[in-house]
Amino acid sequence: MSENKSRREFLSQSGKIATAATACALFGATGSVAYAADTAKPTCETGKPMNITATHYYLDNVLLEAGFNFDGDVAVSTRTELKTLEIKDGKIAALLDNNSHADATLPHYDGGGKLLLPAMRDMHIHLDKTFYGGPWRSLNRPAGTTIQDMIRLEQKLLPELQPYTQERAEKLIDLIQSKGSTIARSHCNIEPTSGLKNLENLQAVLARRKPGFDCEIVAFPQHGLLLSNAEKLMREAMQAGAHYVGGLDPTSVDGAMEKSLDLMFQIALDYDKGVDIHLHETSPAGVAAVNYMVQTVEKTPELKGKLTISHAFALAMLNEQEVDALAPRMAAQQITIASTVPIGTMHMPLKQLRDKGVFVISGTDSVIDHWSPYGLGDMLEKANLYAQLYIRPNEQTLSRALGIATGDVLPLNDKGERVWPKAQDAASFVLVDASCSAEAVARISPRTATFHNGNLVWGTVG
C-alpha cells in the first residue's frame, strides 16, 4: 500500500494534473502522461501492403502467449510460440503451426514475429469535439473556473468547431487505430447549441469507417439534461440511432438529483437503451447519486446490465469497507465503471472493484480539446497507468492489467491457459513489438499493425 501511495504521489507531481480532488472532478483529468504522441499517419515500406483485400488468408509469424512459467505459485515469465492464423470472413478460422498453408492458393502475410494481443477498446472518448487534427490550441482556464463557466465556453465554441467535426473525428479515429483500438464508445453532445448536428456528423463518419471501426454513441447532454431543457433533443437522438442515454452531474449541474436521474433512466426505458452518465461529483451528493442509481437498477430489472457510470469520482471518497459493501451490489446488477485512470491525488478503488467482480473499462476521454490539452488516444498507456497506480507489478499482474484496455479479453487466464485467440473469434487484434503482454503493459510497447474483423486498418505486415 505504501509503495502504491508513493507512486501515486510521484505521478501526481510529475503529471502536473490538478492537485485538488474537486479540480479533478470538475475537469475530468484524463491521466495522460505528457509526452508527445506519435503521428497516426502510417508509412508504407516498399513492397509491403497497406491493405489486405482478401477475405481468406494466412497471417504467419505471429507470436502467441502459450502459458506462464511458474516458480511455485508465482508466474515468473511467459511462454510464447510462433503461429500462423488462418483468417476467413472476418474471423480467426484456425490456429496453425507456423508457416503451414493447407491451401497454397490463399495469400499469406508475415506478422514479423510481433506479439498478437486483442484489439484495444476505447470506451470513453469524445469524437465529436476535439482540436486534434487542427492547429495546436491550448485554452487559458483561470483558477476558479466552474462547470457553468465551461458550459458558457462550449456554447460559444461548439459552433466554431462544428464545420470541422467530421474531418477531426476521422483523424482521431486514425490516431486511436494506430494505438491498437478498433472498438470505442463515443459521447456526443446533445444540447440546444448543437442540436442533433454533432450526432449527424458523427454517424456519417462512423458509417464510412465501419469496415475497420465499431463505435457506440452516447447522447450526452453536456449542458445539463434539466439545465438546458434537453429532454426533447435526447429523445430525438434515441430515435435517430444513439445507443446510450447520457447524463451529467445531477446535483452540481442540474440541481435536482432524483429528478435528473429519474428522467435519464426513463428515457432509457422508453427506448430500450443503455445509460452512460458522466459523474464527476466528489461531494456527498456524488456518493448519494451512486447509491440512488444502484438502488434504481436493483428495483428495475429492465436496467440490469445497462448502466455505466463514467468517471465515478465519488467512489474515491469511500473507505475500503464502504467499497466492499457497495461493489458486490454493483456486480450483481452488472453495473460498469468507465474510468480514465486519473493520476491526480484521487485514489480510485479500481482494483478493489475489479476484485469484487465489477466490470471496469477505460477510455482516453479528452484528446487535445477545450477541456484538456493532453490525451494520447492510447489504451495501452491506460493499462500502464493502472498498473503503476494500483497493482504490485509482477509477470502475472502486469498481464492481467491489460484487461482494462481490452474489455477483459486476455490471451491467458489466471492459470496461464490460453483462452484467446481461438477459432471463430473475431479477427480483431494488434501486433505489438513486445515479448509478452506483461512487457507490453510495462513499456507501452510500439504497435506495428492493427486489424479489425480481418481488415488491416493501420500499419504494415510483410
> Lowest mean pLDDT: which of 44-58, 122-136, 201-215, 296-310?
44-58
Cell numbers found for residue 322:
464502504
**Does 442 have pLDDT greater than 90?**
yes
**Cβ burial, residue 170 (10 Å; 0-12/13-18/19+):** middle
What is the amino acid identity at position 233?
A: L
Range 438-460 average pLDDT: 98
Domain layout of the chain by residue ranges: 2-30+120-377, 56-118+411-459
Range 212-218 average pLDDT: 98
Strands 244-248 and 214-220: parallel
Alpha helices in 231-333 (DSSP H): 231-239, 257-271, 284-298, 320-332
**Cβ burial, residue 145 (10 Å; 0-12/13-18/19+):** middle
What pLDDT is attached to residue 33? 41
The whole-model pTM stands at 0.89
Give the Å distances, CA to CA, from 182 to 143, 216, 305. Answer: 37, 12, 23
Gyration radius from the chain CA atoms: 22
Q: Looking at per-residue confidence, does 41 or 204 come out higher?
A: 204
Range 13-34 average pLDDT: 36
Cα–Cα distance, 451 to 431 (Å, whole number): 8
Contact 447/405 with Cβ under 8 angstroms?
no
What pLDDT is attached to residue 170? 98
Cell numbers found for residue 446:
510500439
Phi and psi at 227, nearest 5°, equal -55, -40
Confidence grade of residue 47 (pLDDT, cut at 50, 70, 90): very low
Per-residue burial over 355-383, b = 16 or more CB atoms within 10 Å of its CB, e = otherwise: ebebbbbbbbbbbbbbbbbbbbbbbbbbb
Residues 261-282: tens digit of each pLDDT: 999 999 999 999 999 999 999 9
Cα–Cα distance, 17 to 29 (Å, whole number): 7
> Lowest mean pLDDT: which of 137-151, 175-189, 253-267, 297-311?
137-151
Confidence grade of residue 43 (pLDDT, cut at 50, 70, 90): very low
Range 384-404 average pLDDT: 97
**Does 30 have pLDDT greater than 90?**
no
Per the prediction, the chain carries an average pLDDT of 90
Picking from 312, 315, 357, the residue whose alpha carbon sits closest to that of residue 339 is: 312
Range 288-317 average pLDDT: 98
**Cβ burial, residue 427 (10 Å; 0-12/13-18/19+):** buried
Give the Å distances, CA to CA, from 428 to 325, 396, 450, 451. Answer: 37, 23, 8, 5
What pLDDT is attached to residue 50? 62
- Choose the CATH number for 2-30+120-377 among 3.20.20.140, 3.40.50.150, 3.40.640.10, 2.30.30.90: 3.20.20.140
- Choose the CATH number for 56-118+411-459 among 2.40.50.100, 1.20.120.1750, 2.30.40.10, 3.30.300.20: 2.30.40.10
Q: How much of the chain exceeds pLDDT 90, in percent?
A: 85
Residues 406-417: tens digit of each pLDDT: 999 999 999 999
SS3 (DSSP) at 144 = coil
What pLDDT is attached to residue 139? 86
